[in-house]
Structure 1
Amino acid sequence: MDKVPPNNHFEANFTLETGDNQLMFVLVVDKNRKPLNPCHPARARKFLKEGKAVVLRRYPFTIMLKNVEEDCDNQQEYRLKLDPGSRTTGISILKDNTIIWAAELNHRGYSIKQSLESRRALRRGRRNRHTRYRKPRFNNRNRADGWLAPSLQHRVDTTLTWVNRLRRFCPITAISMELVNFDTQLIQNPEISGIEYQQGELAGYEVRQYLLTKWGRQCVYCGIEGVSLQVEHIHPKSKGGSNRVSNLTLSCVKCNQRKGNKPIEQFLSRKPDLLKKVLSLGKCPLKDAAAVNSTRWTLYRALSETGLPVETGTGGRTKFNRTRQELPKTHWLDAACVGQSTPDKLQVLIDKPLIITATGHGTRKVCRTDKYGFPVRYVPRSKFVHGFQTGDIVKAIVTKGKKIGTYMGRIAVRTTGSFNIATPNGLVQGISHKYCSRVQGKDGYQYTFSRKSCRTAVYVRGRIPPHT
């Protein structure tokens, strides 16, 4: 259960986070923590000043009414809409034809993949050293049905986490999600058809012979001919590049060694025309499309298990709904336009959505290692110092010393009890734990509001729907 902090921790920053300029509705629960109808920020501010409510969570901003229980007769219907993506998932909550809450969830799938590859490289290095003998294990590699790679499963888990979290704070009655299937062959070649579509671009070729024909039997970087050519990755494999033929090219030994594992953009930074040619011939990476294809049905089945009706929509329907209403291309507006349930006229009252970035809960390493895998620094066993842990959002009121003032932000704890606080105005170091009070505990996510305004959207600041 979430602890309810004192109300005075939030009064100074309430207007900044949920002010009338963006009309992000405030989520409301009763004293038994049952979700009620979200309310207008002005009404929430009035409840807080009169002492009728306390702040339950800062992100998403949720208040709890002290003396009001759930009124089933007054419950209204709210629809949660999702636009699942490889890197970012758009989230919107609609009441009839009005968007009352919106967010963009940034996943950390690629950082998970890089961490796993780093761990694999370190373990491979240790196996080649003269260490103690460990018997090989071959019976623990079975994968259950429906298994997904950790970087893909993370996208499903984080999306489902926020669906369940929003259901605890808002009476959601239905869910809509975009269920899109990307055709990777059509992405690379929109005009592909017939036998070429069925057999693929390598039909009748070996990989090397195909690359020689595709790149003109010369080094793609310096253009030299008549020398030994090596197969080279456009996007380095150590940086997440794949072995797909669209990511392979040919280069001479000298250019291949000079490029090493540099990104193609860095290696050809002084040759923009050549960079454009290589990227256009190599085609765009397909990892994002493959990630969405792999997780779409898993996410759909997970949402179906919530017991709510789940509506699906195609990418074409989403684009049609968005362009018809002349809305800009953003993840949260795409989410609001998913499916046939999208109204003919959307009331967009939100200016800047909540940006949610998955950061994880740290690591289980007992020590930090250098790039060669050798331990360089000890990690404390306990993550808590004087009741705080790194990632908590705190409010520090410093009453004496050189840093007198009030600071609010995320902390990095130290065993000495002197913390660092990351505030919107910069990093403040050396704040004693005695001045700190927790606003919201660490939950594995970082929260900000988008700096980009969506003023180009069609804003209808008309009548606000009924609320509690």
Structure 2
Amino acid sequence: MAINYAFVLDNEGKMLDPTKAKKAWYLIRQGKAELVEEYPLIIQLNRTVPSSQINDDEIVLGIDDGAKYVGVALVQDCKTKNKVLFKAKMKQRQDVSAKMEERNDYRGYRRSHKRYRPKRFDNRFASKRKGRLPPSIKQRKQAILRVVKHLSKHIRLDKIILEDVSIDIRKLTEGEELYSWQYQESNRLDENLRKATLKRDDYTCQLCEVEDTMLHAHHIIPVRDGGADSIYNLITLCADCHNNKVDNNEYKYKDQLLTKIDGKELNLKPAMHVMQGKSWLREELSTMAKLEITTGGDTANRRIDYNIEKTHSNDAICITGLLPIDRLDIKGYFIKPLRKKRASKIDSLGDFKHRDVIRYIKRDGTTYLGYITALRVKNNKYNSKVCNFTTLDGEKTFRGYGLTNLTLVNRPQGLMII
């Protein structure tokens, strides 16, 4: 069973070291603590803990910022071994642009019917101001800040490490220090170089021009013959071309492949697109704790070094740099930011409220975890109370299901954490 930690406060609100959930529930049963929140588990002790007794081991928050999903993790730098206290994956909203366009259509229709007012075309000063972030990007960064602020209320954040772009351009051009593994494993390619090679070649095999397949970064001049670990000696090949054609025949293809990459430059536009809003996010995070920056290449190297499965929350653990970690079987949470504006006409019905996280079990035993999107009373002789709910991943929506078949799991406030 996965380990779950509870955040702990004393009766004055001072943040203490987290404890295991089993012990937290024991303290609640004994009347020594009160439950503050269940997801994530937060308790408040009924006594005051002197400041001299509070542990000061550094707690680091790692953030794996992505367009669709964001990974967050809290790792404590303990004296004996590093401890993962919390990890989660947050799903970013993808509907903001569509809703902005819909709002624009409604506004345009309404304004076109105001015949008493002359048309105005140059009144969009707010959208043209310098340094403005598009709403679709800004809301993603604001969602990250909401999670960080929520965590900072219940646990001490000594340092925040944010992953910037997937590759470090400066390291590619200015060189980099060797990782510890490079002294023993001379044939292993640095992830920063591998990703840069694939990006430069547009994720396409440079021999057969296949795209959707397993791709390798191939050394044109073999390492065994002094070929450099450099983007100028690397090219993208599919697994079939690499293993069945070029491998052991490197010099047969050397001139052809060198011609392919001659003069080809790394396209930085995708990296620049990812950086939109990162400067604003950096400024905001730096006001909350000491901020450090890392890159996706470094994260990938750490993940490979310690043989950790690739997930968004595990990447956030690697971002902290507090490795190795003895146990990674920590409970992983799912976070979904909620809009402040509610679309539901009925906010509560029976024991349920709009946006409640519920569990529904079908007759065949299939279990769905979702949140209520609408509540209504059917216009029939029974006046049945029903709801619509959507699964947490947003893949399925169920309509018209009776409330008696549902079980309340959590009642979120602003952030859905489950």
TM-score grouping bracket, smaller chain normalisation: 0.5 to 0.7
CA contact (8 A) 1:180 1:296 kept: no
Helix, strand or coil at the partner of 1:22: coil
Aligned to 1:34: 14
TM-superposition CA deviations, 1:150-194 (whole Å, max 9, x none): 11111111111111111111122111111226699x7886159xx
Distance change >3 Å, CA 437–CA 346, structure 1 → 2: closer
Distance change >3 Å, CA 324–CA 298, structure 1 → 2: same
- Distance in 2 between the 1:29 and 1:327 partners? 32
- Distance in 2 between the 1:388 and 1:155 partners? 29
Aligned to 1:399: none
Aligned to 1:457: none
Q: Does 1:334 align with 2:344?
A: no
The amino acid across from 1:165 in the alignment is H
- Distance in 2 between the 1:93 and 1:300 partners? 18
Aligned to 2:61: 80
- Distance in 1 between the 2:271 and 2:417 partners? 26
Helix, strand or coil at the partner of 2:8: strand
Aligned to 2:100: 116
Distance change >3 Å, CA 53–CA 182, structure 1 → 2: same
Distance change >3 Å, CA 95–CA 160, structure 1 → 2: same
Aligned to 2:149: 164
Helix, strand or coil at the partner of 1:357: strand
Distance change >3 Å, CA 62–CA 431, structure 1 → 2: same
Cα distance, 1:47 vs. partner? 0.9
Identity of aligned residues (%): 26
Q: Does 1:103 align with 2:88?
A: yes
Helix, strand or coil at the partner of 1:294: coil
Match of 2:278 among 291, 296, 300: 296
Distance change >3 Å, CA 335–CA 64, structure 1 → 2: same
The amino acid across from 2:39 in the alignment is Y
Match of 1:180 among 158, 165, 170: 165
- Distance in 2 between the 1:392 and 1:344 partners? 37
CA contact (8 A) 2:375 2:387 kept: yes
Helix, strand or coil at the partner of 2:299: helix
Cα distance, 1:311 vs. partner? 1.6
Match of 2:413 among 414, 419, 443: 443
- Distance in 1 between the 2:136 and 2:39 partners? 25
Distance change >3 Å, CA 419–CA 48, structure 1 → 2: farther
CA contact (8 A) 1:86 1:288 kept: no
Aligned to 2:341: 362
Match of 2:41 among 61, 64, 68: 61
Aligned residues: CA RMSD:
4.0
Match of 1:134 among 99, 113, 117: 117
The amino acid across from 1:349 in the alignment is L
Alignment of 1:425-436 (within 5 A): 429-431=401-403
Give the length in aligned residue pairs: 302
Aligned to 1:16: none
The amino acid across from 2:98 in the alignment is Q
Helix, strand or coil at the partner of 2:200: coil
Cα distance, 1:28 vs. partner? 1.3
Distance change >3 Å, CA 102–CA 73, structure 1 → 2: same
The amino acid across from 2:314 in the alignment is L
Cα distance, 1:51 vs. partner? 1.9
Q: Does 1:305 align with 2:287?
A: yes
- Distance in 2 between the 1:443 and 1:187 partners? 44
Cα distance, 1:349 vs. partner? 3.2
The amino acid across from 2:160 in the alignment is I
- Distance in 1 between the 2:352 and 2:322 partners? 46
Alignment of 1:317-466 (within 5 A): 317-338=298-319, 342-363=321-342, 380=345, 383=347, 389-393=353-357, 410-411=371-372, 412-414=374-376, 418=385, 420=387, 429-431=401-403, 441-448=411-418
CA contact (8 A) 1:57 1:440 kept: no
TM-superposition CA deviations, 1:403-460 (whole Å, max 9, x none): xxxxx98554448994648699x8895549xxx9998544343344xxxxxxxxxxxx
- Distance in 2 between the 1:158 and 1:151 partners? 11
Cα distance, 1:287 vs. partner? 10
Match of 2:70 among 74, 89, 95: 89
CA contact (8 A) 1:389 1:442 kept: no
- Distance in 1 between the 2:167 and 2:323 partners? 27
Helix, strand or coil at the partner of 2:335: strand
- Distance in 2 between the 1:417 and 1:72 partners? 58
CA contact (8 A) 1:93 1:99 kept: yes
- Distance in 1 between the 2:138 and 2:27 partners? 40
Helix, strand or coil at the partner of 1:348: coil
Distance change >3 Å, CA 58–CA 344, structure 1 → 2: closer
Alignment of 1:226-245 (within 5 A): none
Aligned to 2:187: none
Cα distance, 1:126 vs. partner? 5.3
Cα distance, 1:70 vs. partner? 5.7
Cα distance, 1:118 vs. partner? 2.2
Helix, strand or coil at the partner of 1:101: strand
CA contact (8 A) 1:390 1:442 kept: no
The amino acid across from 2:415 in the alignment is Y
The amino acid across from 1:66 in the alignment is N
TM-superposition CA deviations, 1:239-273 (whole Å, max 9, x none): xxxxxxxxxxxxxxxxxxxxxxxxxxxxxxxxxxx
Distance change >3 Å, CA 68–CA 142, structure 1 → 2: same
Helix, strand or coil at the partner of 1:169: coil
Cα distance, 1:384 vs. partner? 6.1
Q: Does 1:149 align with 2:149?
A: no
Q: Does 1:316 align with 2:316?
A: no
CA contact (8 A) 1:82 1:335 kept: yes
Q: Does 1:52 align with 2:32?
A: yes
CA contact (8 A) 1:86 1:289 kept: no
Distance change >3 Å, CA 343–CA 127, structure 1 → 2: closer
Helix, strand or coil at the partner of 1:177: strand
